[in-house]
Amino acid sequence: MQLVKNFNFSFLYKYGIVVPIRLGLTLCLVGGLLSCGNLGQFGMNAIGANITQIQDLKPEQDDGTTVYVQGKVEKRVPLLNQYAYQINDSTGKIWVVTNQTGLGEGEQVVIKGKVRHQSIPLAGKEYGELYIEEQ
């Protein structure tokens, strides 16, 4: 039969290092948990700007309202002197017109721009669409 000796941490209390060890472990745990979080769900990105969900954009905002949109680039269309990118943030999709040329499909981006609405009335119906013009 094996004799198992209970390991006792009382020597840590004797030298007064229990509190710093607990504090250090707690800080590491909290820091690790915060670094894994996605702040985008709280309406904030890494630079602290308010992120607007695409589903919340309305044609009435076509007064030059500046918004921040965060999402993944799904499509890329070259225009004459610009590019148009379709951004998806899981609540919807929107086109962004920009001078940036280096964005690739699948990249996560944060875009700052003005909400625009292009009205296209056909046969009494409205087929217009919102888009963002990057600043």
44 has a pLDDT exceeding 50: no
Q: Helix H segments across the chain?
A: 10-15, 18-36
Q: 85 forms bridges with which residues in the sheet?
A: 76, 96
The span from the CA of 85 to the CA of 110, in Å, is 12
Q: Is 0.75 topped by the overall pTM?
A: no
SS3 15: helix
Strands 125-126 and 121-122 turn out to be: antiparallel
Backbone φ, ψ for residue 74 (5° rounding): -105, -40
Contacts 24+ apart (CB under 8 A), 64-67: 64/114, 64/115, 65/114, 65/115, 66/112, 66/113, 66/114, 66/135, 67/112, 67/113, 67/114, 67/115, 67/132
93 has a pLDDT exceeding 90: yes
The span from the CA of 17 to the CA of 9, in Å, is 11
Mean pLDDT of 96-119: 89
Residue 103: its pLDDT value, please?
A: 87
Residue 42: its pLDDT value, please?
A: 44
The span from the CA of 96 to the CA of 84, in Å, is 5
Assign 119 a pLDDT band (cuts: 50, 70, 90): confident
Query: Residue 115: is it exposed, middle or buried by C-beta count within 10 angstroms (0-12/13-18/19+)?
Result: buried
* Least confidently predicted of 26-30, 53-57, 89-93, 107-111: 26-30
